[in-house]
Chains A and B, each alone.
Chain A
Amino acid sequence: MLLKTIILIGGPMKGTRFRPLSLETPKPLFPVAGFPIIHHHIEAAAKVEGNKEVILIGFFQPNEALNKFINQAQLQFKVQIRYLQEYTALGTAGGIYHFRDQILAGKPDYFFVMNADVCGDFPLQEMLDFHRSKPSGTFCTILGTEATRQQSLTYGCIVENKATHEIMHYVEKPETFISTTINCGIYLCSPAIFSPLEIEFKKNLEQNYNCDQDHQRVGYDYTTAPAKEVIRMEQDIFVPLASSGKLYVYQTERFWSQIKSAGAAIYANRHYLKLYRKTHPERLAKNGAGKPQIIGDVFIHPSAQVNETAVLGPNVTIGKNCMLGDGVRVRDSVVLDGAVLQDHCCILDSIIGWNSTIGDWTRIEGTPNDPNPNKPFAKMEAISTFTFDGKLNPSITVIGSDVQVPSEVIILNSIVLPNKELSGCYKNQIIL
Chain B
Amino acid sequence: MKALILVGGYGTRLRPLTLSCPKPLVEFCNKPMLLHQLEALVEAGVKHIILAVSYRADQMEQELKSVEEKLGITITISLESEPLGTAGPLALAREHLTNDNDPFFVLNSDIICDFPFKDMIKFHKHHGKQGTIMVTKVDEPSKYGVVVYDAECGRINQFVEKPQEYVSNKINAGMYMFSPAMLNRIELRPTSIEKETFPGMATDGELYCMELQGFWMDVGQPKDYLTGMCMYLTSLKKKNSSLLYHGEGVNGTALVDPSAKIGKNCRIGPNVTIGPNVVIEDGVCIKRCTVLNGAHIKSHSWLDSCIIGWKCVVGRWVRMENVSVLGEDVTVNDELYVNGGRILPHKSIAESVKEPQIIM
Contacts and interface: CB of A to CB of B under 8 A. Distances in A.
A326 B265 contact: yes
B2 to A, nearest CB: 49
Nearest to B287: A408
B265 A346 contact: no
Contacts of A344: 283, 285, 300, 302, 317
A329 B302 contact: no
B80 interface: no
A348 B319 CA distance: 12
B302 A363 contact: yes
B316 to A, nearest CB: 7
Interface in A232-259: none
Given A329-B317, A346-B319, A412 B337 contact: yes
Nearest to B282: A327
A410 B285 CA distance: 14
A408 B317 CA distance: 12
Contacts of B316: 329
A365 B302 contact: no
B335 interface: yes
B300 A348 contact: no
A146 interface: no
A412 B322 CA distance: 15
A331 B316 CA distance: 13
A343 B304 CA distance: 18
A49 B317 CA distance: 49
Contact of A410 (B283, B299, B319, B335): B319
Given A361-B285, A363-B337, A412 B354 contact: yes
B265 A365 contact: no
Given A327-B283, A344-B283, A361-B285, A408 B265 contact: no
Contacts of B337: 363, 365, 410, 412
B300 A408 contact: no
A360 B321 CA distance: 16
Interface in B292-347: 299-300, 302, 304, 316-317, 319, 321, 335, 337
Contacts of A412: 337, 354
A326 B337 CA distance: 20
A49 B354 CA distance: 53
Contacts of B319: 346, 361, 363, 410
14 contacts: A326-B265, A327-B265, A327-B282, A327-B299, A329-B300, A329-B317, A329-B335, A344-B285, A344-B317, A346-B319, A361-B300, A408-B302, A410-B337, A412-B354
Given A327-B282, A327-B283, A346-B319, 16 more contacts: A327-B299, A329-B300, A343-B283, A344-B283, A344-B300, A344-B302, A346-B317, A346-B335, A360-B285, A361-B302, A363-B317, A363-B337, A365-B352, A408-B285, A408-B302, A408-B304
Complex A-B, nearest 6 residue pairs according to Cβ-Cβ distance, in ascending order:
A344-B300, A327-B300, A346-B317, A361-B302, A327-B283, A329-B317
